[in-house]
Each structure stands twice: as C-alpha cells, then as structure tokens.
Structure 1
Amino acid sequence: MRVLVLHNSYRNQGGEDLAVAGEVDIMRKAGMDVRLETVSNRGISSPVEQARLFLTVANDPKRKIWVQGLCDDYRPDIVHIHNFFPLLTTAVHEGAAERQLPVVQTLHNYRLLCANALFLRNGAVCETCINGNKAVAFLSRCYRGSFAATLAAMRLRQHAARNDIWARHVHRFIALTEFARGKFIEGGLDGDRIVVKPHFVEDVGVMEHSRAGALFVGRLSPEKGAGTLIQAWRSLPHIPLTIVGDGPERSRLMASAPRNVVFTGHLRQDAVTPLMRRAAVLVVPSIAYETFGMTIAEAFSAGLPVIASDIGAPAELVGRSGGGVLFKAGDAADLVRVVTDVLGNSDTLGALSAGARRDYLRRYTPERNLEHLLSIYRDAAQRAKAS
C-alpha cells in the first residue's frame, strides 16, 4: 500500500507533529511505501506573506495543483491529511478527491468547528461556534487575540460549509477519542464517517522501584490548568511536584509556586521518561476539552497513575482506564483531596499502576495502532470506490 501523508507543521514542534512522524515511522517499519510531504508555518513572518495567506487560507488554488502533481507522480493508494491550516487549505482535499483517491483526515484539534481550535474563551470552555452566534469569535478575537487572524480561521469554516468540503472530499475522519467524535458530530460532521483511533506511544516499560512525588508535563499556558496545580500545591507542602514544560505562564507560575515545586523547563522525551518512571502520579489539570492526551498514554506505558480533571478527552482516557482518578476541573481543593487520598494509600497506588499498564497494552501500543490504521485505510478505499 502506498500512502501519501500531508501535514502543515507548526512554527514550534508540538504534539501533532510528533504524532504524524510516529505514525509514518510505524508504517515504514511495517514495509509500507509512505511519502510524507510537509509545509511549515515558520515562513509566515512578513506582512506581505500574512496578507497573501489571509486571501488563500480557505482554499489555495496553487495547493490544489501541487497536490495533484504529487498524486500523479507518486500514485498513492491513500491520501492521509493531518493538519492543513493555514497553508495547505481545503484545496488538498479537493485535489486528491478529484484524482479519485481515498482521503483520510485526522482531527487533531477542533479547528473545523472553532476559530482557536480549543473551544476556549476567556479562560473557560466555550461552544458558541457550535450552537450560537459565530460572530462572537470575531468580536472576542479568539484566535491569537487578533481580529484578522480570527476572521481568517472563520473563513476556512465558512468555505468548507458553503462547498460541502467534508462530505464531498473526505471518506474517513479519524477522531482521537469518543468525546472528540461527539463534538464533531454536534458540529455537523457525518458520524458514519468518523472512526475513533487514539495515538500510540512506544513502550517504555515499568521500573521496579519505589516512586515518589507528582509530575506535570505540558505547555505552561492557561488552558493546561497549571494555575490550579500551583494553587493546590500550596496545601501539599510535603509532596514534591516537578513541572516539565515552558510557555507564557512560566514566570507567573514560578513566582507564586511553593518551595516543593521544581520547574525544569522544556525537556526532550528521553529526559521525561525517567521522571515518569520515578514519579508516583502524573497530574493533568487541563481546563480545556483537548482531543487526546499524549502524556496520559505515555504515563500509562510506564505504569504511572494519572490524576486528571473531569472534562473532555482526559476525563475519558483516565475515567475508563482503571489507571487513574478524576477531580473537578479548576477546583484546587478537590485536587488536594484526590492527591492526598491517592498518595496516602499504597494499595490504591499499586492498583492504579497496574490498571494504567493494562490500559496501555490494550489501547496505545504501536502494533494496535497500525492494525487499526490499516483497517481505516481499507474502509476509506471501499467508500471511495462506492462513491
């Protein structure tokens, strides 16, 4: 099977970029012929380039010609599209479909439904773009705090709706959780076309030694809930907390953190894994829905229990796993209660650790991911043939 993978990478490498690279890698290791074509946001800097991008963000005719040239040259069996905003645009879906090729789209975020792709406004969950006045996003400058950037993101959605892009040109969508799938259905996508396939992580194994303390791994931005974490840890002076990551809130969080909190800054994954093996729990205090939780899957691989907020995709991943406990999102007092209960009972910790490891083996291994991905490709090919 020959697979053409298209991805618009970000200015700074993030979870989506790593997920795409990982998926391509497991296909190639399985002997598949995979061609990865990426474009990067790093070149979007000059006012001229930004102005041109505003005009083409919904559909760039040059990208349609580009992708059809790729298809004619490579002759893939499947075209798998990941992030396509803002450079690839819906033109790549149209171009591939016009070549009578099966098209698969992974839904890494909520961009199809929400201007900022997060369902977050003013520090709280917002679903206005699904079932309310969509002008609110523009007036609130939801994307990058900019009227122009928000309008550009809104134009993408308007173009897709006006031209029925998703129904006409995508044969299978991949959502990462059932929660995310439900939101996309609420937003108007055909549920019959959306299949749930989580990301995978490599097996890091479980270290057989005592664990201690708590760990947070993620971007230090408002939606990740690190403020709730710091507030809670003021009431947990005897439990060490290690915070891995960087972001716009780092200085503020460091200034207000108690002494038992250590900030490491950004670390490579090979430096994070030993921390996961030594910690007693991973805390995921997100106040946003998320579409998945890569750090949760990584923790489960290490047999590390997870304490997560009871909202969105993290709540689904942890709540069903037997490998963690939920607390009320944004509620520092409830987080204190849960952390105290979990870390105060070695039997509970042991049971959660075993549950985390079982859930990893059941859902998040490379082998299971590849098997599921190939099934999706076969189904997309059948749908394309029948259409």
Structure 2
Amino acid sequence: MRLALVTPRYPPTHAGGGEVSARLLAEQLQQRGLADVTVYSFDGETEETVGGVEVRRLFDVPQYPYTLPNEIAYRKLREAEPDCDVFHAYNMHLHPAVGRLSRRLDTPAVATLNAYPLINWADIGVTPSIQRKAYERTLLRLERPRLKHQMRNIDVFLPLSRAVERVYRDHGFAEMDYEVIPNMLDDSFEIPERNERDTKRTRVLYVGYLRDSKGVRFLVDAMEHLPVTFELTIVGDGPEKDALGKRAAESSGRDRIDLTGSVPYEQVTQAYVNADVFVHPGVWPEPFGRTILEAMQAGLPVVATEIGGPAETVPQESLLCEPGNAVELAECIERADKDRDRIGAENKRFVRDRYHPDTVVPQFGRVYDRVQNN
C-alpha cells in the first residue's frame, strides 16, 4: 500500500510532540512493510530521506490565516501528483487541503486529530492571545464554514483520545466516522540508569510548554500544601514562564521550586531519572501528552487532572484530580509518593503494553485497509 503522509512540518524541523509522533508513525509503517510511505511537508523545498522514509518538502507555508496555507498546500500537492492509495493528514493545520484533494482525486483519506485549530480556544479552556482572539472574531469566523466543509471529505478521523472525539463531535463534526488511536511511545527513548535515591526528599517534576492551559500555576500553588521535603522542578519555556517565576517567588515554597527554562533533550531525560513523581496539571482537554508516556517509560508515578487525553492515559484513578485545584493536586502527589516504586513499575508495564508500536501501528493498518475497501 502506498501512503502519502501530509504534515505542516517533519523532523528535523519540529515544534513539539506532533512532529515526533508523525516521524514515529512514518518510520514504523515503513520498517514493518505495512506501507510505502512518502511524507509531504511544508517546511522548505527539498527532497530527502529521513530515517528510511522519503520526505518531499514542497514549500514553506505560513500558519495563519488557515485559508492561505491550505490553498498553497492544495496547489502544491496537486502539482506533486502523489501516487498513493491513502492520504493521511497529520498535525491538523492542513486537514482541509487534504480533504479537498481526497475528493478531487477520489482517493480515501484519514486524519489524525491532535489539536483544535478551527475551534475558538476559549470554548475549550484555553485563554487566547490578543492576536488569536482578533483572528477568531474576524477571519476565522468567515473561514471556518468552508474549511470545515473541506475537512468533512475525509473518510475517517483518528482522534488521539476519546476526549478529542467529544470536542469535535460537539463542534460541528458529529456525523463523522471516528476511531481513537493514541500516540505510540518512542521505543528508542533511552532513560539513563538511576542513582540511589535520597529517601529524605521527594522530587516532583513537570516537563512541557508553559502556557496557562497547562495549569502549572496550580502546581506551583500545590507546593504550599506539601511537606517541606517536597521539591519541584519545572522544565520548559513559554509565555507563562515569567509569571510562574513571580508566582513561585511569592510562594511559601519558593526555596523548593526551580524553573530551569528550556534544556537540551539529554538533560530532559536526566530530569526524569532525578524525579520521584511526574505531574501533568492541565486545565483544558489536551489531546494527549507525550511527556506522560516518557515519564511512565522512566518508571515514574504520574499525577494528572481528570480532563482531556491525559486522564485516559494515567491508569490509577486515585492519581487524577480536579483541574485547577491545588489542594487536590497536592494530595495526589503525596499519594503517588507513598507508593511510588509500585506505581512506577506498574506504569512501566502499562505503557509498554498499551502504547508500544507493536500495539498501536497495526491499528493504523486496519484503518487504511478499511477506507480502501469502502
């Protein structure tokens, strides 16, 4: 089977976990002989082979307004004349172009749902920037009906979680065909050996982008409700970094909170090794959470909020708490710490059973077969 994987960016160009997930999918499909994959991305104008996969970078498109990059992508894809049996649209922004091309060429298409670009952010618990809010009230309001119409030409939507499916069903796509397929873990993700732990303290870790929807401010507040033996490390950067630093400085737990900013990937893996409990305190229906998989691979207990994809990923219900509740967050962190070795080992087994490529990749193969045979 010939698969055209269409994505705005592809490694080594990347902005986050979405690009990592696209690469893992393409390489796994190619290596397992399930598909002859060609990636079509829009982050340059080169042809190359990356990890054994042919990558054709057709153009460098802007992100906004959505009509413009979709029009450019549609035209460039038509010129490229993809010789494929199935289109797979990844990383959201070009899904309308793929739907439009799928209909024109009478070629089936599937699309991974891993973000909410056509939905007003305030409707899903994200505070939009001034620029985003202005865009939603003007151009996006005008663009949205046509872009949604083009997306409806896609045969099957592949949300990363049931939470994503619910959001899309509630925002104009109730009638679509859905099949939930999560992200897969990176089997090459290597965790250094742990040194002997200091049993007199508990090291709490957050890794990720720092914006208000991530809820990190509530994790900072939770430190005021935890014993003085608990220390917090926040790894990452983003628009909330300065505000979080100020919040931490004004907290009674200020001497136990460290904001490292962005660090090299090798230091991120070391942060997992140094930690005792990982926390994902989001306050919006985040589609998934690759850092949760990494933390579980590292054998850490994970505390999360009961919203979005992360709530479906953490297997221990007792470690899920109400979004935005610092007291409950602290209680869950203490609960995770008291049984951290058992929970960490349980997570390590769980993530390999449910999110290993051996489990996830065949799910894509079955969907590709289904849309070709319809």
Normalising by structure 1, report the TM-score: 0.79
d(CA) in 2 for partners of 1:201 and 1:269?
A: 16
- Picking from 192, 211, 216, the partner of 1:221 is 211
d(CA) in 2 for partners of 1:155 and 1:303?
A: 47
The verdict on how the C-alpha distance between 1:176 and 1:380 changes in structure 2, with shifts beyond 3 A counting, is same
d(CA) in 2 for partners of 1:241 and 1:182?
A: 33
Match of 2:27 in 1: 25
On the 8 A contact 2:9/2:42 being kept in 1, the answer is: yes
Match of 1:97 in 2: 103
- Picking from 67, 71, 83, the partner of 2:77 is 67
Question: What does 1:42-81 correspond to in 2, within 5 Å?
Answer: 54=65, 56-57=67-68, 60=71, 62-70=72-80, 72=81, 74-81=82-89
- Picking from 267, 271, 284, the partner of 1:271 is 267
CA deviation vs aligned residue, 1:180-225 (integer Å, no higher than 9, x gap) = 1122222242566110010012244775665541110011111111
The verdict on how the C-alpha distance between 1:278 and 1:170 changes in structure 2, with shifts beyond 3 A counting, is same
1:376 shift after superposition: 1.5
- Picking from 231, 253, 256, the partner of 2:244 is 253
d(CA) in 2 for partners of 1:64 and 1:83?
A: 16
Partner of 1:195, secondary structure, is coil
Match of 1:37 in 2: 40
CA deviation vs aligned residue, 1:305-345 (integer Å, no higher than 9, x gap) = 10111222222221xx13871122111122222222332x2
d(CA) in 1 for partners of 2:163 and 2:282?
A: 15
On the 8 A contact 1:300/1:356 being kept in 2, the answer is: yes
Q: What one-letter code is carried by the residue in structure 2 that aligns with 1:180?
A: V
Is residue 240 from structure 1 mapped to residue 231 from structure 2 by the alignment?
Answer: yes
Match of 2:251 in 1: none
Match of 1:135 in 2: none
On the 8 A contact 2:235/2:260 being kept in 1, the answer is: yes
- Among all aligned residue pairs of Structure 1 and Structure 2, give the percentage whose two residues are the same amino acid: 26
Match of 2:55 in 1: none
Partner of 1:144, secondary structure, is helix
Match of 2:17 in 1: 15
Normalising by structure 2, report the TM-score: 0.82
CA deviation vs aligned residue, 1:107-164 (integer Å, no higher than 9, x gap) = 111224x133971254xxxxxxxxxxxxxxxxxx767344236533333421145xx4
**Unpaired segments of 5 or more residues in structure 2?**
45-58, 249-253
The verdict on how the C-alpha distance between 1:366 and 1:353 changes in structure 2, with shifts beyond 3 A counting, is same
Q: What one-letter code is carried by the residue in structure 2 that aligns with 1:351?
A: R
d(CA) in 2 for partners of 1:30 and 1:270?
A: 28
On the 8 A contact 1:175/1:196 being kept in 2, the answer is: yes
Partner of 1:80, secondary structure, is strand
d(CA) in 1 for partners of 2:319 and 2:113?
A: 27
- Picking from 345, 356, 359, the partner of 1:354 is 345
The verdict on how the C-alpha distance between 1:232 and 1:249 changes in structure 2, with shifts beyond 3 A counting, is same
Q: What one-letter code is carried by the residue in structure 2 that aligns with 1:281?
A: V
d(CA) in 2 for partners of 1:218 and 1:67?
A: 33
The verdict on how the C-alpha distance between 1:63 and 1:247 changes in structure 2, with shifts beyond 3 A counting, is closer
Q: What one-letter code is carried by the residue in structure 2 that aligns with 1:336?
A: A
Across the two proteins, how many residue pairs are aligned to each other? Answer: 345
d(CA) in 2 for partners of 1:220 and 1:336?
A: 20
1:96 shift after superposition: 2.5
On the 8 A contact 1:58/1:156 being kept in 2, the answer is: no
On the 8 A contact 2:87/2:102 being kept in 1, the answer is: yes
1:55 shift after superposition: 8.7
Q: What one-letter code is carried by the residue in structure 2 that aligns with 1:213?
A: R
Question: What does 1:190-339 correspond to in 2, within 5 Å?
Answer: 190=174, 193-203=177-187, 204=189, 207=193, 210-211=196-197, 212-236=202-226, 237-257=228-248, 258-318=254-314, 321-322=315-316, 325-339=319-333
The verdict on how the C-alpha distance between 1:242 and 1:6 changes in structure 2, with shifts beyond 3 A counting, is same
Partner of 2:114, secondary structure, is coil
Is residue 5 from structure 1 mapped to residue 17 from structure 2 by the alignment?
Answer: no
Q: What one-letter code is carried by the residue in structure 1 that aligns with 2:28?
A: I
d(CA) in 1 for partners of 2:243 and 2:70?
A: 40
d(CA) in 2 for partners of 1:366 and 1:217?
A: 23
Q: What one-letter code is carried by the residue in structure 2 that aligns with 1:239?
A: F
1:79 shift after superposition: 0.7
On the 8 A contact 1:111/1:117 being kept in 2, the answer is: no
Is residue 368 from structure 1 mapped to residue 359 from structure 2 by the alignment?
Answer: yes
Match of 1:342 in 2: 336
On the 8 A contact 2:319/2:333 being kept in 1, the answer is: no
Q: What one-letter code is carried by the residue in structure 1 that aligns with 2:257?
A: V
d(CA) in 2 for partners of 1:96 and 1:111?
A: 20
The verdict on how the C-alpha distance between 1:178 and 1:361 changes in structure 2, with shifts beyond 3 A counting, is same
d(CA) in 1 for partners of 2:65 and 2:117?
A: 16
Partner of 2:255, secondary structure, is coil
Match of 1:137 in 2: none
1:100 shift after superposition: 1.5
d(CA) in 1 for partners of 2:215 and 2:108?
A: 39
d(CA) in 1 for partners of 2:290 and 2:157?
A: 19
CA deviation vs aligned residue, 1:262-284 (integer Å, no higher than 9, x gap) = 22211343332232133111011
The verdict on how the C-alpha distance between 1:274 and 1:370 changes in structure 2, with shifts beyond 3 A counting, is same
d(CA) in 2 for partners of 1:307 and 1:301?
A: 15
d(CA) in 2 for partners of 1:315 and 1:264?
A: 26
Q: What one-letter code is carried by the residue in structure 1 that aligns with 2:67?
A: T
On the 8 A contact 2:124/2:284 being kept in 1, the answer is: yes
Q: What one-letter code is carried by the residue in structure 1 that aligns with 2:113?
A: L
